[in-house]
Amino acid sequence: MRKQGVADRLARQWIAEHGEDYVQEKLDYMSERQRDVKSTVGYLSAALREDYRMPDKPEPAEPSPETLEAVRKREETQAREDQAYEARAAERSERARKLAVVEELVSRRNPTQRDADKRLFLSGLTDDLDREHFRAHGWRSGLNSSAIFAFWEELEPDAFEYQR
């Protein structure tokens, strides 16, 4: 109360009259609610005399059945999306692993074999877009990844199994 400018005598009188907890409650009220008062002693005196209180916080309302259903649906949708994302991430990871295996297989072959492998693979592609994508990206062609894996599996059976 000294920080608020209350004299020792008046502070003791208020504590004796109202109790220390009650006076502290009004000091807390003042510090939270009324920071810019002209006379803190006068305001504190009025707060004690008239029992100023913090407004009661309203009880949280019980959510409606519609709200609960909407939340449940949103959680289910989120769970499905999370599962789909995890499945796609696992698929991408597996594709990257297999493409690394292909790179390893290609690196073991001599230049003549590499050229023959590319020509043989390209001859098996029927779509112009697939061929163009393979020419641009080589053995890292994501568009042709399934065909690439099948091609190398035929050339080197179980090649992808050993690399796990």
The residue extents of the domains of the chain are 2-50, 88-162
Span of 23-32, 110-119, 132-141, 148-157 with lowest mean pLDDT: 23-32
Distance CA 163, CA 104 (A): 10
User: What average pLDDT does range 20-47 have in this prediction?
Assistant: 77
- Regarding pTM above 0.85, the answer is no
Cα dihedral 26→31→36→39 (10° resolution): 40
Mean model confidence pLDDT for the chain? 86
155 near 117, Cβ under 8 Å? yes
Most confident of 2-11, 17-26, 79-88: 79-88
Residue 147 confidence (pLDDT) above 70: yes
Radius of gyration of the chain (CA): 39
Residue 164 has a pLDDT of: 43
Please write the tens of the pLDDT for every residue from 65-98. Answer: 888 899 999 999 999 999 999 999 999 999 999 9
118 near 130, Cβ under 8 Å? no
Distance CA 106, CA 115 (A): 10
